[in-house]
A and B are shown apart, each in its own frame.
Chain A
Amino acid sequence: MPVIALTRATALSLLRNGFSRFLFILACFFMAGALLMLSFDIGVRYRLLENTLLASQCFLLHLFAWSFGFDVLKKNTAEKLYVLPFSTSLSARSWLLGRFSGAAILVVGMGLLFLLVDTVLFAALKIDIFSVLMLQVLLYVASACLSLAVIFFLSCFLDVLSALIYGVVLWIIGHGLDELLLLTDQQFEPAVQILVQCFYYLLPNFSFFDISSQALNRLPIETEKLVFILTYPLIYIVVLLDIGAAIFSRKPIGQ
């Protein structure tokens, strides 16, 4: 119950934030911008439109996640919003989970809104609604939520701005982990390979969520891979928030 109450309050607070409204307008602007690609044909009809839609939705969902994360965490510290809740028997885990869920639920909501926009647009243009394309939007949501969890985790031992910056950097690094592993396997010493393997398994691998090539080129996804990429963010988020809560619970409140 405390988690639900926190989730609701966090989501409401974020929705009323002026910056959220700006982001929503930005999203509309991006969607309209993507429609400009309607007339371009680069060998595959509507490919550029689909590609621009996917890329803009990916960017927007992550931008939403990062700005929501920053807003929630900054309020936590600047307005000391944790002081009153911790006067109840609230645990650090519930606090972190509630605040995270409040932001994540809005990201999920935006993702569903994007899916709706895509479906309506594709139906209007008589484009086949390809399941992998729709799945890609949902995976962007998962990726944004994982990135949000990373920022929440980092904020347990860093200041908010650093947590945000390192979170975004980890998102960028997380897209190149596969290539990094391949490169070190080919060109580096075994010691470096072991080090990179440690990074590979410890850092969040955001390239798992990227099936845009399959989505745009109408290629199938193997079931095993699908199960893995849907399970991976859930496990990673739970582990991150759990470790974050353990770190947070060791710190004094209201300093």
Chain B
Amino acid sequence: MAGVLRKRTGREFLSQANHLLYAALVISFFVYFAPSPLENSIEPVVSADYIGHERPLSGAFHTLLADHYWLLSARRLEQHPEQGTPVAKQNFFKEMKRILTLDPGFTPGLHYGATYLASIYRDVDLSHALVDVVLDYYPYWADLIIFKITQEISYRYPPRPALIDQWLKVLDDLSYPTPVRLNEALVYAREQQAAWQQKDLRWLLNNARTSAEKQIIQKRLHDLESDRPSR
């Protein structure tokens, strides 16, 4: 009995504590890396100096994770059920911010995200917030100020379909199905400035690759020309 009830030695206690710690490490690994669905709720837009947990936890692999999110964002955003809504805008900002937090030097992401926010989502403040994410990091700060000014300018003009083309190029190279082009065409069709819309839709029509895309763009173009409200 004495043997059964003997007191644990310090070494045994430490050994058990070690096992508990190992178990905690393994569990936290799986909890952290478990895939999570895209959030659909509108969360308050966080400030630019907010620290995401991905950056420290991805360790030395943060740029690879940035590329992963950059590729993933195309699919996640294009398939988002509320494309073109404030929810989509928030999600777009969050995705882009996450990419830039992970790789602040990724200029294609910065240029694309900031211009998209200013030009297409019509939110120059969010666009500037995205630029602020890389402000402390990017060595060419003067470029960023000029870039912010260009966002102000692009905000005053209608969205340019050419902007989307850069992103589509990425998707094309990855052989993704590309309904983005179609969705974006619908976004433009909501604009009231008919001349620009017609110009943009014609550009999209010229660059459309599938007959399905062509049909829908032609329909929108036809609606616009016949001065019918589009949605």
**Residues of A participating in the B interface, judged by any CB pair closer than 8 Å:** 39-44, 47-48, 51-52, 54-55, 58-59, 62, 140, 143, 162, 165, 169, 171-172, 175-176, 178-180, 182-183, 186, 206, 209-210, 212-214, 216-217, 219-220
Contact = CB atoms under 8 A, between A and B. Distances in A.
Given A41-B170, A182-B51, A216-B105, A140 B67 contact: no
B61 interface: yes
Contact of B60 (A178, A183, A206): A206
B106 A55 contact: no
A210 B63 CA distance: 10
A48 to B, nearest CB: 6
A172 B32 CA distance: 14
Decide if the interface of chain A is mainly helix, strand, loop or mixed.
Answer: helix
A59 B61 CA distance: 9
A76 to B, nearest CB: 20
B-side interface mostly: helix
A55 B25 contact: no
B64 interface: yes
Contact of A216 (B56, B63, B137): B63
A85 B60 CA distance: 38
Interface of B: 18, 22, 25, 49, 51, 55-64, 67, 70-71, 103-109, 112, 137-139, 166-167, 169-170, 173-174
B60 A140 contact: yes
Given A140-B60, A169-B25, A206-B59, A213 B105 contact: yes
18 contacts: A43-B170, A44-B108, A58-B60, A58-B61, A162-B18, A165-B25, A171-B59, A172-B57, A175-B56, A176-B56, A176-B57, A179-B51, A179-B56, A182-B49, A209-B60, A214-B105, A216-B105, A219-B105
A213 B25 contact: no
Contacts of B137: 213
A54 B139 CA distance: 22
B60 A40 contact: no
Nearest to A162: B18
Contacts of A43: 70, 108-109, 112, 166-167, 169-170
Contacts of A186: 49, 51
Nearest to A62: B60
A183 B61 contact: no
Nearest to A55: B64
B176 to A, nearest CB: 11
Contacts of B64: 51-52, 54-55
